[in-house]
Copies of this chain bind each other. A is one copy, B any other.
Amino acid sequence: MKRPVKASVKDEKLIEIRRNQIIRGAVTLFKEKGFHRTTTREIAKAAGFSIGTLYEYIRTKEDVLYLVCDNIYDGVKEKLSEMDVNGGTISQLKQAIAYYFHLMDELQEEVLVMYQEAKSLSKDAIPYVLQKEMEMVDMFQVLLRNCVRSGEIELDEQQIYVTANDIFVQGQMWAFRRWAFQRRYTIEEYIELQTELVCHGIECKRGKVKHGNLSTKA
């Protein structure tokens, strides 16, 4: 599941530690200036050691980018997997969306980095990253499918797939279109608006549409 990044150092524990230092340093720099404008020396410095040491733990500058992206995805995925995916109620779906959007809000900067720099990954690293995206989208698919199964919403498989992708991207939108949203809404408001729009077209089976407090503009 992980693309191996070769290190010259043997001590696995140390590799773990040093790579975390590298990632921590690099993320900060990438946020500021982007991958291309960040120097390997700057990365080494930010990580707290010499350029020589940096290269004991990576092979190329691009390895750092991969490490960073991989790490961000892992972070998001890990947190995401704390969501309760098994229930099949609309309310749980909404909670999940809210949870995910809040996460995107917290990890805004990281999401932005990943979003903007991932394209600089070498061809052979991309599949690993897309794989992770897929897994996250899958979680929303499962959620949606459960709701369908329990009869709370009405979507066929294709619609589930597209909706899951929409939700996933709308979460990211909060980060990458911050200039359009964050001056107008709080994350709470954004969540409410998006959730409402998504759920409307979904739950309205039998016209019973009653989506709680949010959006009573019926």
Contact = CB atoms under 8 A, between A and B. Distances in A.
A166 B165 contact: no
Interface residues of A, number: 48
Contact of A201 (B130, B162, B199): B199
A196 interface: yes
Contacts of A2: none
Contacts of A133: 180
Contact of A36 (B36, B155, B197, B199): B36
Interface string A167-187: 001100100010111001100
Given A156-B214, A173-B169, A184 B201 contact: no
Nearest to A130: B179
Interface in A193-218: 193-194, 196-202, 204, 207, 209, 211, 213-215, 217-218
A120 B35 CA distance: 10
Contact of A197 (B163, B185, B215, B218): B163
B197 A201 contact: yes
B36 A196 contact: no
Contacts of A189: 158
A55 interface: no
A63 interface: no
A36 B73 CA distance: 24
A109 interface: no
A116 interface: yes
Nearest to A181: B165
Contacts of A119: 34, 116
Which 10 interchain pairs have the tightest Cβ spacing? A200-B201, A201-B201, A207-B207, A116-B119, A36-B36, A162-B193, A156-B217, A197-B201, A204-B204, A130-B179
